[in-house]
């Protein structure tokens, strides 16, 4: 019985990729991954999505703030750059199915911003869209999130 329990435990650990080297690297930031449909690009760092939670459960019309970046605003002095960032993001992801990585925290302060928007990283075909905005010059890195 003891040997069988040990074998099952070992198989489970191997199935989840646990090794002594990964234990030494330390914990990674907990996160959730979802498939989502982009329904609206609000500006260069904010989108609206319908999130597929699985088991035929959808979370409709959720506002997501792209974490780790800051794009210019569409109003005020930066409006030209803000509109360009919005168009760039819209051309990339509007109406498309994306992978959304959200932070997992103990309270809402870890998962959302002061406007109640969920914080997330957007991936399209394996490309980090948050980073793509920075690389294209439409956003800067923002460490506040």
Active site residue 65: yes
Given 37, 63, 73, 90, which residue is catalytic? 73
Given 37, 75, 111, 117, which residue is catalytic? 117
Q: Who contacts 121 (Cβ-Cβ below 8 Å, separation ≥6)?
A: 66, 67, 68, 100, 101, 128, 129, 130
CB 74 within 8 A of CB 83: yes
Angle made by CA atoms 18, 24, 26, in degrees to the nearest 5? 90
Alpha carbon separation from 115 to 22, 53, 73, 112 (Å, rounded): 36, 23, 15, 8
Residues annotated catalytic, as ranges: 65, 73, 117
């Amino acid at each position: 019985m003891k040997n069988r329990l040990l074998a099952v435990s070992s198989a489970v650990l191997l199935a989840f990729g646990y090794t002594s080297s990964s234990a030494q690297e330390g914990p990674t930031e907990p996160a959730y991954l979802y498939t989502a449909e982009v329904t609206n690009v609000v500006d260069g760092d904010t989108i609206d999505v319908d999130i597929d939670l699985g088991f035929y459960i959808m979370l409709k019309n959720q506002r997501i703030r792209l974490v780790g970046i800051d794009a210019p605003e569409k109003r005020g002095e930066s409006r030209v750059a803000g509109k360009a960032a919005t168009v760039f993001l819209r051309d990339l992801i509007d109406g498309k199915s994306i992978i959304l990585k959200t932070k997992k925290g103990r309270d809402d302060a870890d998962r959302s911003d002061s406007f109640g928007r969920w914080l997330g990283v957007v991936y399209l075909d394996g490309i980090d869209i948050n980073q793509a905005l920075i690389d294209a010059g439409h956003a800067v890195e923002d460490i506040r999130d």
